[in-house]
Amino acid sequence: MSGILETIKTLTEINSPSGNADEAINYVKNYVEDLGYHTKVTNKGGLLITVDGTNENKQRCITAHVDTLGAMVKEIKENGRLALDLIGGFHFNAIEGEYCEIQTQTGQTFSGTICLHETSVHVYKDNHNIPRDKEHMEVRIDEITHNAQETKDLGIEVGDFISFDPRTVITQSGFIKSRHLDDKASVGMILELLKKLKNEGTKLPHTTQFYISNNEEIGYGANSSISEDIVEFIALDMGALGDGQSFNEYTVSICAKDGSGPYHKALKNHLINLCKINDIPYKVDIYPYYSSDASAALKAGSDIRHGLFGAGIESSHAMERTHLDSINATQELLYAYCLSPINE
């Protein structure tokens, strides 16, 4: 099976909820520096990777985010369990029954399970009618603790980060199913691209910054540290599947519009033409409840042409899945785009 899937699997298994993505950022930093690329960590904790090109005056930026959905300890309850506050845009039903890890301020890690308080059908009648919300969901810690003080004595405090078990599986039929394919699939593709460029000795037509962002899930990842020389800005992010969407798990998705509005028409058309010229299977779609680091950069005032494409992710913000065919198509478009000139 393709090495890209193993690269993605490695990334998904690094805990990195928004606000606590340093370990994942450091992994990417060390990976690309070993390849010989220059990097810079921004004040916000994102990672900039510069690849020199022939034209230094008209540059590109391609971003993908390594931060994921997660949670934080909201309260240590009287029963010793933990109330949660969610990080990112998802609902409690997406994480019910999930294994998790609590990372304390002192560096300790404790395992647990996210449960409905009234889980047992042998005790709680009609518990399927109980809302899955912050009043009823809690973390059952895998430690002997009977009350709030005993949990505090473990070193767990309000504000500690909670990460979800990705449960990553690669199937013989070419699927990868996991939490956090949004957007670690894209980060993995950028790592594979940088390795390919280095091995080939390829010189890009334009200097390109690859921006690994660490706050996308909370709305302000790659919206700063953007050079004035950058003309085009691509968010390499998931394609959202569902009813009414033309996209699937076997092609690359090009976004025409999301919840923030239309993407730049000329850049969108350029991506479509690259797919046609290179026989890359693609679909064009609208994601109605979605925004990206490209739209965040625009809102922050950057004067850029913005675009978005990525692999098709089934069941986004829950137990996600995509296929190697979609990843390959996205990699082909990413490579073709990086080697193409900026259109005037």
**Is residue 160 marked as binding?**
no
- Token pair recorded at residue 118: 């009234």
143 is catalytic: no
Rounded distance between C-alpha atoms, residue 322 and residue 315, angstroms: 10
Rounded distance between C-alpha atoms, residue 284 and residue 294, angstroms: 17
**Is residue 206 marked as binding?**
no
Q: How far is CA 307 from the centre of its chain?
A: 17
- Token pair recorded at residue 5: 């899937």
**Is residue 229 marked as binding?**
no
CA distances from 255 to 35, 252, 275, 310, 320 (A): 31, 10, 14, 9, 19
Using alpha carbons only, give the angle 280, 217, 155 rounded to the nearest 5 degrees: 135
**CA proximity to 215, closest of 189, 183, 186:** 183
Q: 154 CB contacts (<8 Å, ≥6 apart)?
A: 104, 108, 110, 141, 143, 145
**CA proximity to 164, closest of 220, 223, 102:** 102
Torsion of CA 101, 102, 108, 110, to 10 degrees: -60
Q: How far is CA 168 from the centre of its chain?
A: 14
**Is residue 180 marked as binding?**
no
E-assigned strands of the chain?
A: 38-41, 47-51, 53-65, 70-76, 82-87, 99-103, 109-116, 137-141, 161-164, 169-170, 175-178, 204-213, 230-236, 239-240, 252-258, 261-262, 282-287, 305-313, 320-323
**Is residue 249 marked as binding?**
no
- Token pair recorded at residue 176: 């990868």
**Per annotation, catalytic residue among 216, 249, 314, 332:** 216
Alpha helix segments (H runs only) across the chain: 3-12, 22-35, 148-153, 181-200, 265-277, 293-299, 324-339
Binding residues: 65, 182, 217, 237, 317
Binding residues for Zn(2+): 65, 182, 217, 237, 317
- Hey, which residues are catalytic here? 216
